[in-house]
Structure 1
Amino acid sequence: MHYPIAIEVSDEHHAYSVAVPDLPGCFSTGDTFDEAIDNAREAIEGHLESLADHGDPIPSASAIEQHLANPDYVGWVWAAVEIDMTPYLGKSHKVNVTLPDLLIKRIDRAVARHGKFKSRSGFLARAALHELERYAG
């Protein structure tokens, strides 16, 4: 999921400020633009972890376009931070799935090529979450 972030550009006396409009109360800063984005990712992950720990719902990310006209962020720069949502979805449950052999081989090749997937099940969970986000809005 990509959470939009608003970044207030710094000057010689202030750090970059970051707000995450879809996560009220989630803010961060950074001395450089890159650091601001890295710190925003950490802030988002910490915020989501806290919500999950308390059993609170995890807000979906909105499209950046929904925030562009917000007067609170006039003059700010927009970016998006990709967050792997699987750690915040709750306890894992084992399910049995039957898939065609060629599909399993393609999944295994994708897992081997891309370090962001730790396993076949992680790949499938991420693909399922992507599809849910696409259809659920």
Structure 2
Amino acid sequence: MRDYIALIHKDADSDFGVSFPDLPGCVTAGTTLDEARALAQEALALHLQGMAEDGEAAPEPSSLEAIMSERANRDAVAAVIPGSRGAAKAMRISVTFPEDVLGEVDAYAEAHGYTRSGFLQAAARRAMREDETAA
């Protein structure tokens, strides 16, 4: 398991944004700091899973010192986000979507740095988490 450094950014008129310098395109945001950290762990897991599915090796995590030595990163708060604790077996499933909805899913996923599978997993986890907190 590898831990990665996430950078948490907050402007006065925005949510908490999270990015991973070692993993370009792995980004998320939350309305609260706690939500941003939880979504960061989810985004990291999905991103690493997508890389594995694509046959790509995950990069070695940079040190905190290396990341914070870059001037552009100094306005953010660094957080250590644990990577996946173990590789869960991926299962292929078949689902049916109307063509226009699938197009919207793909466009949204691409614009936000997800694979289709990664986005659908994140949406399912978010819905389940919201149901748990509403109960």
Superposition TM-score, scaled by structure 1 size? 0.59
Matched, 1:39 2:39: yes
Q: Say if 1:45 and 1:29 are closer, same or farther in 2 by CA, change over 3 A.
A: same
Uncovered stretches (5+) of structure 2, i.e. residues with no partner: 91-135
Letter paired with 1:14:
S
Alignment of structure 1 residues 76-115 onto 2, 5 Å:
76-84=76-84, 86-87=86-87
In the other structure, the counterpart of 2:73 is 73
- Of structures 1 and 2, the one with the larger relative CO (CA 8 A, separation 6+) is 2
Letter paired with 1:45:
A
SS for the counterpart of 2:68 is coil
In the other structure, the counterpart of 2:6 is 5
Tell me the CA shift for residue 75 of structure 1. Answer: 1.3
Matched, 1:59 2:59: yes
Q: Say if 1:21 and 1:76 are closer, same or farther in 2 by CA, change over 3 A.
A: same
For the pair shown, which has the larger CA radius of gyration, 1 or 2? 1
Tell me the CA shift for residue 85 of structure 1. Answer: 5.0
Sequence identity percentage: 30
Uncovered stretches (5+) of structure 1, i.e. residues with no partner: 91-137
Kindly tell me the number of residue pairs found equivalent between the two proteins. 88
Matched, 1:20 2:20: yes
Q: Distance in 2 between matches of 1:85 and 1:58?
A: 14
Does the 8 Å contact 1:26/1:43 carry over to 2?
A: yes
1:79-102 Cα shifts (integer Å, max 9, x gaps)? 1011235318x9xxxxxxxxxxxx
Letter paired with 1:80:
V
Q: Distance in 1 between matches of 2:4 and 2:81?
A: 5
Superposition TM-score, scaled by structure 2 size? 0.60
In the other structure, the counterpart of 2:119 is none
Which segments of structure 1 move beyond 6 Å, counting only runs of 4 or more?
A: none
Q: Distance in 1 between matches of 2:41 and 2:34?
A: 11
